[in-house]
Chain A
């Protein structure tokens, strides 16, 4: 036993990866080539574009930092950036809170019809994005579902105007759009938890609440993080929802980028804004990857 104790874990039966053999590098080349074409090249092109500058109706080839400086100088850009951040944070948090009980009950409590319920939650993904957004306008609008119901009940006389064309409407709709993306990784993480661990917790004196806090919740953190990350990135970059439901006060970074490539015809500035958004997403991905590595413990 003593000699076992001294052996560091990583020295014991080190696993050989696919890339350990020199010949396996050759197998990797097509994948790297593919990634280069479809992902890395566009990003580099965008990065280069962000350092160029709009001169009249032309784009100069001289590389400068002026676009980034302009963004930092203009308070409205920073304000909208922070607002996008805030709305994305609220939407993804709400999506987590809405999805967790769903995922928990469907994966662990329901035995029959589990797959049907799973499909029902995923079903909105098959419906056009735009249709779902317009549907929310119909729910939140002056003559929408909420207002007409409340008016019919006599609770209000005038339609509530704070429901639509503001940040609230944007956050609610982004939450709705994100739910399936949060639900899927959460459901998978919860379903993978071995029943035996839950039996063990009960056997060792944990009631349902303590089992949840001490065993189930920590074991689904990787799924939770993945879901949060997906919802956050989807929400942060969206421009259709703020355009349709946000009004002037609900504008997000995506809208500005969209207008730079459209009406304003300032591609370099749009690229710079786009690159900032990309960097934020990359940082969030890196952070979740770091915490998500706990996954290795359960599925060794």
Chain B
């Protein structure tokens, strides 16, 4: 069954999973390389956990196939797949000590306690849990529980480790330090990580590649850079990072890689990332706040007169909201650059480069994340 030549370690082919009347996973195709840190990112209920459970074998797809190292495992039950999972709430066996929890997967492989002992000690050392062997899950902290779950999933030395929001229950500082721990483990052991998260910062900082999901659909698969700077859909643009959206009509298409969009009678030159757009189409124009300059010193192709409507101090920078007609554009200005004498109501010029602006068909507006 094994096809040694396959260069993909994990492959999902046209996988669909339907629960009653909702499509949890809709025709997903994912290919993951060995040793890759791959994230499934999306809001809650987008199907990322279901996708992970399908890879683990805990859920059977209604359609499509799952391949592990080239072999079709679609019908192989979970306990016979060489993948292990770190569950969202850790799922540590409450009636077993930390040591016995980590021993469990080895016990299932009929490895004696004597033989398993050095492996258990090694993995507990790896996650910095030495001295906790005899504790029960109710006797350790949240962060330690997370590490017990990781140790238990790693002791079998799986080729692929699946992590379902492993840091979701931890507070911010602990989460950041655990991100580092997990990333180090992944690099040192050279294991493929498939990481489910709704935290875009986590996905962007840790991953080699990210699949962005919404309502069971994969919107984009790419490196963090591609996802951030070249979002494929308005949903990705709205979900990842901060984004300004303006609505307008295509006024002209001056060249194959630029479009001119009319927003409130002002023409904005944009990068033509969607080649299917034609004249007079309704579009969404998106610009990252950090790409918007207030009173720019350099000459920019898009410059608009606007009025400051809000200034928010954010520590290392200011978020300045400027209004023209009915449109609002937020801009992030570095603390050192910002002219502190500026006040709400002042008239300023705002500008940006066409390369930093994407356009999406207006039909994508309904998929966007709306934070009220």
Q: Could you tell me which A residues sit within 8 Å of B by CB distance? A: 1, 4-5, 9, 194, 196-197, 199-207, 210, 214-215, 218-219, 294, 296-298, 300
Is B8's CB within 8 Å of the partner chain A?
no
Specify which chain A residues have a CB less than 8 angstroms from the CB of B152 in the assembled complex: 204
Specify which chain B residues have a CB less than 8 angstroms from the CB of A200 in the assembled complex: 85, 87, 91-93
Residue in A closest to B152 when the chains form the complex, CB atoms: A204
Query: What CA separation (Å) do A1 and B143 show in the bound complex?
Result: 11
Q: B104 is contacted by which of A9, A194, A214 (Cβ under 8 Å)?
A: A214
* 5 residue pairs bridging A and B, Cβ less than 8 Å apart: A194-B89, A194-B91, A202-B78, A296-B138, A297-B137
Is B324's CB within 8 Å of the partner chain A?
no
Residue in A closest to B56 when the chains form the complex, CB atoms: A203
Query: What CA separation (Å) do A29 and B108 show in the bound complex?
Result: 53
Query: What CA separation (Å) do A298 and B56 show in the bound complex?
Result: 25
Specify which chain A residues have a CB less than 8 angstroms from the CB of B132 in the assembled complex: 5
Q: A210-B108, A215-B93, A298-B94 are known contacts. Are A199 and B87 too (CB-CB below 8 A)?
A: yes
State which residues 97-147 of B face A: CB under 8 Å: 104-105, 107-109, 128, 131-132, 135-139, 141
Is B77's CB within 8 Å of the partner chain A?
yes
Say yes or no: A9 contacts B139, CB within 8 Å: yes
CB distance from B134 to the nearest CB of A (A): 11
Q: A4-B141, A5-B132 are known contacts. Are A203 and B94 too (CB-CB below 8 A)?
A: no
Q: A204-B104, A204-B108 are known contacts. Are A298 and B95 too (CB-CB below 8 A)?
A: yes
Q: A202-B58, A214-B104, A296-B138 are known contacts. Are A197 and B91 too (CB-CB below 8 A)?
A: yes
Say yes or no: B91 contacts A199, CB within 8 Å: yes
Query: What CA separation (Å) do A152 and B210 show in the bound complex?
Result: 73
Say yes or no: A297 contacts B138, CB within 8 Å: yes
Say yes or no: A297 contacts B85, CB within 8 Å: no
CB distance from B68 to the nearest CB of A (A): 14
Specify which chain B residues have a CB less than 8 angstroms from the CB of A202 in the assembled complex: 57-58, 77-79
Specify which chain A residues have a CB less than 8 angstroms from the CB of B156 in the assembled complex: 204-205
Say yes or no: A203 contacts B85, CB within 8 Å: yes
Additional A-B contacts beyond A5-B132, A202-B78 (18; CB < 8 A) = A1-B128, A194-B91, A199-B85, A200-B91, A203-B56, A203-B57, A203-B78, A203-B84, A203-B85, A204-B104, A204-B153, A205-B80, A206-B104, A214-B93, A219-B95, A297-B95, A297-B138, A300-B138
CB distance from A296 to the nearest CB of B (A): 7
Residue in B closest to A8 when the chains form the complex, CB atoms: B139
Specify which chain A residues have a CB less than 8 angstroms from the CB of B92 in the assembled complex: 200
Say yes or no: A207 contacts B79, CB within 8 Å: yes
Quick one: which of B57, B58, B94, B136 has the most chain A CB within 10 A?
B94
CB distance from B161 to the nearest CB of A (A): 11
Specify which chain B residues have a CB less than 8 angstroms from the CB of A204 in the assembled complex: 79, 84, 104-105, 108, 152-153, 156
Residue in B closest to A299 when the chains form the complex, CB atoms: B94
CB distance from A18 to the nearest CB of B (A): 21
Q: A294 is contacted by which of B57, B78, B83, B95 (Cβ under 8 Å)?
A: B95
Q: Could you tell me which B residues sit within 8 Å of A by CB distance? A: 53, 56-58, 77-80, 83-85, 87-89, 91-95, 104-105, 107-109, 128, 131-132, 135-139, 141, 152-153, 156
Specify which chain B residues have a CB less than 8 angstroms from the CB of A207 in the assembled complex: 77, 79
CB distance from B94 to the nearest CB of A (A): 4
Residue in A closest to B136 when the chains form the complex, CB atoms: A297
Query: What CA separation (Å) do A104 and B332 show in the bound complex?
Result: 59
CB distance from A291 to the nearest CB of B (A): 12
Residue in B closest to A1 when the chains form the complex, CB atoms: B128
Query: What CA separation (Å) do A200 and B164 show in the bound complex?
Result: 12
Query: What CA separation (Å) do A153 and B105 show in the bound complex?
Result: 54
Q: A219 is contacted by which of B78, B87, B91, B94 (Cβ under 8 Å)?
A: B94
Query: What CA separation (Å) do A218 and B97 show in the bound complex?
Result: 13
Query: What CA separation (Å) do A205 and B105 show in the bound complex?
Result: 6
Query: What CA separation (Å) do A297 and B105 show in the bound complex?
Result: 21
Query: What CA separation (Å) do A300 and B128 show in the bound complex?
Result: 25
Residue in B closest to A219 when the chains form the complex, CB atoms: B95
Say yes or no: A218 contacts B138, CB within 8 Å: no
Q: B93 is contacted by which of A4, A197, A300 (Cβ under 8 Å)?
A: A197
CB distance from A140 to the nearest CB of B (A): 41
Specify which chain A residues have a CB less than 8 angstroms from the CB of B108 in the assembled complex: 204-206, 210
Specify which chain A residues have a CB less than 8 angstroms from the CB of B153 in the assembled complex: 203-204
Query: What CA separation (Å) do A215 and B108 show in the bound complex?
Result: 12
Say yes or no: B77 contacts A196, CB within 8 Å: no
Query: What CA separation (Å) do A194 and B93 show in the bound complex?
Result: 10
CB distance from B123 to the nearest CB of A (A): 13
Query: What CA separation (Å) do A214 and B80 show in the bound complex?
Result: 17
Query: What CA separation (Å) do A218 and B87 show in the bound complex?
Result: 21
CB distance from B274 to the nearest CB of A (A): 41
Specify which chain B residues have a CB less than 8 angstroms from the CB of A300 in the assembled complex: 94, 138
Query: What CA separation (Å) do A4 and B57 show in the bound complex?
Result: 37
Specify which chain B residues have a CB less than 8 angstroms from the CB of A205 in the assembled complex: 79-80, 105, 108-109, 156
Query: What CA separation (Å) do A207 and B81 show in the bound complex?
Result: 12
Query: What CA separation (Å) do A300 and B137 show in the bound complex?
Result: 10
Query: What CA separation (Å) do A4 and B91 show in the bound complex?
Result: 22
Residue in A closest to B138 when the chains form the complex, CB atoms: A300
CB distance from B209 to the nearest CB of A (A): 24
Specify which chain A residues have a CB less than 8 angstroms from the CB of B94 in the assembled complex: 197, 219, 297-298, 300
Residue in B closest to A296 when the chains form the complex, CB atoms: B138
Specify which chain B residues have a CB less than 8 angstroms from the CB of A203 in the assembled complex: 56-58, 78-79, 83-85, 87, 153
Specify which chain B residues have a CB less than 8 angstroms from the CB of A5 in the assembled complex: 131-132
Specify which chain A residues have a CB less than 8 angstroms from the CB of B109 in the assembled complex: 205
Quick one: which of A196, A197, A199, A204 has the most chain B CB within 10 A?
A204
Query: What CA separation (Å) do A297 and B78 show in the bound complex?
Result: 27
Query: What CA separation (Å) do A139 and B87 show in the bound complex?
Result: 52
Specify which chain A residues have a CB less than 8 angstroms from the CB of B87 in the assembled complex: 196, 199-200, 203
Specify which chain A residues have a CB less than 8 angstroms from the CB of B138 in the assembled complex: 296-297, 300
